[in-house]
Amino acid sequence: MRTTAKWIIGAAAATGTALLGGAPLAAVGKVHTVGPAALAFGGLVIALIGVGWAIWHTAEALIPPATSLAALEQPHMERLRTQITADPAGFFGPFGNSVAEVEASCRRFDIAAAQLAIMLAAESAPDRQRILAQGMADASANASQARTRLRWLLLLAHAWQVRNLLYRARVHALAGGAAVALGAVLFITATSASTSAAKIPTPTPAASARTTAR
């Protein structure tokens, strides 16, 4: 997803380079009146604002957002929560139906493993030691699996946040593109009108006299 954001920034930067290239500046040199000059200037400013707008907001998608499991409860995670609700076992496994229940399961297995370790240290009978050791290993494995679920959910929430940032970046890039197009139209209109006006011949007094004599 961040590759897409980098591509958008690269495209916007290329557009800005084209706007400040030699051809537009050469066209500005053909403008000799205040009206077209102001229009051309305004078009360039609008276009460059559009480029800056797109780059500024797209760059936010490249900044890693701070993510916690509480992010799953935020409004922009509604679609993800809908998927989780439709298949809770696929997201939480056998540890519950919510993040809080998975966290509680993790704590419960950690406590059980710690208690079994204390009992194992005080036990002298070999048979009891084997039973306690097996129980402690099972509790530790279950706690590890619960923590793995929590880490996976955290990565999923982070990826979803980046996805939302990229979606907003696309919207802002589209708005910036519209501003660039508007600025380009204004600039081309100003320079074309000025060039056309420059090509209209101005009759000289001698030519006017010859036309009158005829």
pLDDT 10s digits, 58-111: 777 777 778 888 888 888 888 889 999 999 999 999 998 999 999 999 999 999
What does the pLDDT read at residue 29?
62
> What does the radius of gyration of the chain's CA atoms come to, in whole angstroms?
34
202 C-beta neighbours (distance < 10 Å), count = 5
Query: Percent of the chain having pLDDT more than 70?
Result: 75
Specify the range with the lowest mean pLDDT, choosing from 27-31, 84-88, 183-187. 27-31
If you average pLDDT over residues 152-179, what whole number do you get?
85
Rounded Cα distance between 20 and 191, Å, is: 15
Contacts of 164 (CB under 8 A, 6+ apart): 76
Of residues 163 and 199, the one with the higher pLDDT is: 163
What does the pLDDT read at residue 161?
87
84 C-beta neighbours (distance < 10 Å), count = 19
Q: pLDDT grade, residue 3 (50/70/90)?
A: low
| Average pLDDT of the chain to the nearest whole number | 79
Within 29-125, residue ranges assigned H as helices are 34-59, 78-86, 88-92, 99-122
Of residues 9 and 145, the one with the higher pLDDT is: 145
Beta carbons of 161 and 65 less than 8 angstroms apart? yes
Of residues 110 and 19, the one with the higher pLDDT is: 110
What does the pLDDT read at residue 19?
58
Rounded Cα distance between 50 and 172, Å, is: 9
Q: What is the pLDDT of residues 30-52, one digit of tens each?
A: 666 777 778 877 887 887 888 88
Please state the pTM of the whole predicted model.
Answer: 0.65
Q: What is the pLDDT of residues 104-134, one digit of tens each?
A: 999 999 999 999 999 999 988 999 999 999 9
Residue 183 has pLDDT above 90, yes or no: no
If you average pLDDT over residues 166-191, what whole number do you get?
81
What does the pLDDT read at residue 15?
64
